[in-house]
Each structure stands twice: as C-alpha cells, then as structure tokens.
C-alpha cells in the first residue's frame, strides 16, 4: 500500500557551517531535547528519513536529518573518506550546541558513517542504530575470505571506480537507473512525487560526481579493520533480508566488530527498509531508544 506523500516543504530547513563547508539539514522537535541524528545513504538525501523524522520528534527527541557532504543542498567538497565523513557528524553535533547525541542512526552509506563515528567518537553518542549496512570491516573480510556471494552483489562498487562513465549512465533518461533502484524492490511504496524530490537532489550541480566520490574514496581508504573501529555503544541493526546489494552473512559478521549487537530482521524487506516498512522500522527504533539496556 502506498504511503501518503511527504514533501520536502513539510519540514523545517536549516544550515550550519564548519570546516569550511556549508551543510544543510532539516530538524523537528524542540532544540535542547535529546538529539537524534539521521544519516542517509546512496543515492538518497535527508528525505529518505521522511517517515521517521516526525514520529521520533513526537516521542520527545530533537531530530536532525542531514544532507551529508556532497549531497543535495550541502556543499560539494571532498575528501569523501569515511573518517572525514565521521568528523562531519561530530561537527554537526557541536554546531547544534550539543556535546553528545542520544543516538546516531544511519542507512546504507549513512550506516557506514554511523559505525565509524561511534567507534571514533565514543563520548559523543549514547547509542547507534543502522538500517541495512554491515560494519565496514566486513568489506575487507569479504575480499580477504573471497566470499563470492557478496563480491558479486558489489559489482557496482567496482564500476563506480571508472571516471565520468557512471555519472553519464546514472543521469541518462532523467535518472532512470537511480529511480529504478529506489522503486523496483519497493513496488507502490515510493510515489512519483517523492521520486521527483529525489531527482531534484540528483540535479544539484556536481551532486552525482560527489555521491559517487564516496565509493571512489572507499577504495583508497586504509585501516577499515582492527580495534580502533570496534563499536562500544549499545547498537541496533535493522535488516531487510531481501537486500539486492548486501548479504545477510555480512550482517551476522558485524557481531564480531560490535559487541552485544542486536539485529532485528524484517523478513522480505528490501535494502530501502525505512521507506518500505516505515511503521515497523519506527517501532524498532523507538523500542531501542527507550530501552534501559546498556
């Protein structure tokens, strides 16, 4: 059943400037309330959290959904390695007047940034939740152990290393490939009007090159394994097990890098789980945020 469309204009828009970048975010709730930061993935922007922002704010949180660097209305300036991207989240939190977030929640690439941020900035976050992306150390493990089911699913990451061609293909026919990526596995769940909002983000000058730049930087990034990336905060992984890009095995491997990791599987759910099953994801998040576990 199609969810009612939520337009970007239905949210409150803001900007912050730090480290020479002007970055965009939307916010709901009362400033000063416990802070929840939402991090989108590829090829999305803050809008991928449209079904979560207001319910989390209604539960008493100050909810900030960011456009990460290179995306939508945020500046298009590298570098795009995961360590710099995690530094940005610390910058957001401080710019908002907080020393610690109640939670950082990410999906896809936003989930990778969430894991790295939580490992590097332990004192700046109380707990973390991620939708459909494993801990980044599983990528190195996939290659080291030649785990072919995941290597095959990751073919596009290798394609994105080619200069300029990916941008040309993704923008062709009014961004048909990117539109299909968001809708093929979620029939009836993302409206035409909502896809138009994504297209507006993709049309921003230099946006596609910046977005793909995250993948190009990943292949040049070292030190994605080891104790320094161990996540030592209460952590939840919400996982749609019909993910076209990621195997469930990588979710299970994440337990090796996140002690006490809780995994909530949503059977039949796709990679775009928070847009496809918003009510179930919202309940998982609220149960986790309001739990007494440590």
Does residue 242 have a pLDDT over 50? yes
Q: Per the structure, how many domains does the chain have? A: 1
> What DSSP assignment string belongs to 56-78?
HHHTT-EEEEE--TTSTTS----
279: in domain: yes
Residue 178 host element (H or E): helix 165-183
3: in domain: no
pLDDT tens for 185-220 read 998 899 999 999 999 999 999 999 999 999 999 988
Residues with catalytic annotation? 108, 215, 271
**Residue range of the domain that includes 261:** 8-290
pLDDT tens for 6-41 read 899 999 999 999 988 999 999 999 999 999 999 999
Give the per-residue pLDDT at 222: 72
Q: For 60-72, what is the mean pLDDT? A: 98
CATH number for the domain harbouring residue 44: 3.40.50.1820
1: in domain: no
151: confidence class by pLDDT, cuts 50, 70, 90: very high
- Token pair in block for residue 6: 């939520």
pTM confidence score: 0.96
Give the per-residue pLDDT at 227: 63
With the C-alpha atoms ordered 5, 48, 254, 288, is the resulting torsion angle positive or negative?
A: negative
Percent of the chain surpassing pLDDT 70:
96
| Other beta carbons less than 10 A from residue 237's beta carbon | 24
E strands within 177-261?
Answer: 235-240
């Amino acid at each position: 059943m199609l969810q009612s469309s939520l337009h970007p204009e239905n949210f409150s828009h803001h900007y912050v400037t730090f480290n020479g970048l002007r970055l965009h975010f939307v916010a709901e709730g009362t400033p000063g309330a416990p802070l929840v930061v939402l991090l989108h993935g590829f090829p999305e922007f803050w809008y991928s959290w449209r079904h979560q922002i207001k319910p989390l704010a209604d539960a008493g949180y100050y909810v900030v959904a960011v456009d990460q660097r290179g995306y939508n209305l945020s500046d298009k300036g590298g570098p795009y390695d995961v360590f710099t991207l995690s530094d940005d989240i610390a910058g957001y939190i401080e710019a908002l007047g907080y020393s610690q977030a109640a939670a950082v929640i990410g999906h896809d690439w936003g989930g990778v940034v969430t894991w790295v941020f939580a490992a590097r900035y332990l004192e700046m976050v109380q707990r973390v939740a991620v939708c459909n992306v494993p801990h980044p150390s599983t990528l190195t493990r996939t290659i080291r152990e030649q785990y072919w089911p995941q290597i095959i699913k990751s073919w596009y990451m290798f394609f994105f290393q080619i200069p300029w061609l990916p941008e040309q293909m993704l923008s062709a026919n009014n961004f048909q490939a990117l539109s299909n990526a968001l809708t093929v596995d979620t029939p009836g769940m993302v409206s035409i009007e909502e896809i138009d909002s994504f297209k507006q983000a993709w049309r921003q000058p230099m946006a596609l090159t910046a977005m793909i730049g995250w993948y190009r930087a990943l292949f040049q990034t070292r030190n994605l394994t080891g104790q320094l990336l161990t996540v030592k905060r209460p952590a939840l992984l919400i996982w749609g097990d019909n993910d076209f890009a990621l195997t469930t095995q990588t979710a299970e491997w994440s337990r090796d890098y996140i002690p006490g990791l809780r995994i909530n599987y949503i059977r039949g759910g796709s990679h775009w789980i928070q847009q496809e099953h918003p009510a179930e994801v919202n309940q998982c998040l609220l149960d986790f945020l309001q739990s007494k576990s440590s």
